[in-house]
Amino acid sequence: ARVTLLTVVGCDEAASRLRVLLEQQGIETRLGEDARLRTIVKLRVIGRAQQLLRIDFENEPDHEVLEQMLDDFERELPMHDVVLFSDYGKGGLTHITRMIETARAAGKPVLVDPKGSDYARYAGATVITPNRGELAQVVGAWNSEAQLVERAQALRDRLRVEALLLTRSEDGMTLFDDGGSVNEPAQTREVFDVTGAGDTVIAAMTALMAAGLTAREAMPHANRAGGIVVGKFGTASVSYAELFG
């Protein structure tokens, strides 16, 4: 598959290192440079094989470089089958609503890993993948499965989203779509580190949907991918052989 990462970085050592790491994995890059931006670096403090805390070094990108990123997105779109937005609330997806509209108008599935409480900006996406805390921030805490289904479906309808995939840690995941809801239990394994589990799930969903699977068909494989990655220490990835071997 051809994969392209579109984002904004600073003119610093962290950006140079990022380029090298991506090139080593065969990932194409469209990295907009902002001289006033510090490439985000996450410092994880580890003790006895457990993450104790994380410190982020960051500042928000300039408006001009974000406009350039929008232009780059529109140029790259015809050469890709699916779009994945990972929103970390760092200011890099200021134009996400317009990007989603452009991608959907071109017939491309759009998957979004959301952040914050303003989900209106994700309207029209194909799939959104909040975790329990993120969904509760938007629809409020639920007291039963029936109430969860009602609120998740209401949010999905309001946003005109085809599917909402709720990741639920030890309780697996639940997919809400026009056909109702379907649950997938968590893969039983020892958990070493949950870092990147949600990222792994949506990355697997994206790759599988690019290959032609529906969200429902992709969900069990994405669940398995998440189960594999939490059994590894640190920020890890899942190989094709691990997932399908």
Catalytic residue numbers, as ranges? 199
* Host H or E run for residue 201: helix 197-210
- Side-chain-side CA neighbours of 194 within 13 Å: the count stands at 7
The single-letter DSSP state of residue 37 is P
Amino acid (1-letter code) at residue 197: A
Q: Residue 74: count other Cβ atoms within 10 Å of its Cβ.
A: 14
* Of the candidates 9, 14, 22, the residue with the CA atom closest to the CA atom of residue 41: 14
- Side-chain-side CA neighbours of 62 within 13 Å: the count stands at 12
Annotate 194-224 with b (16+ C-beta within 10 A) or e (fewer): ebbbbbbbbbbbbbbbbeeeebeebbebbbb
Contacts of 123 (CB under 8 A, 6+ apart): 97, 100, 159, 160, 161
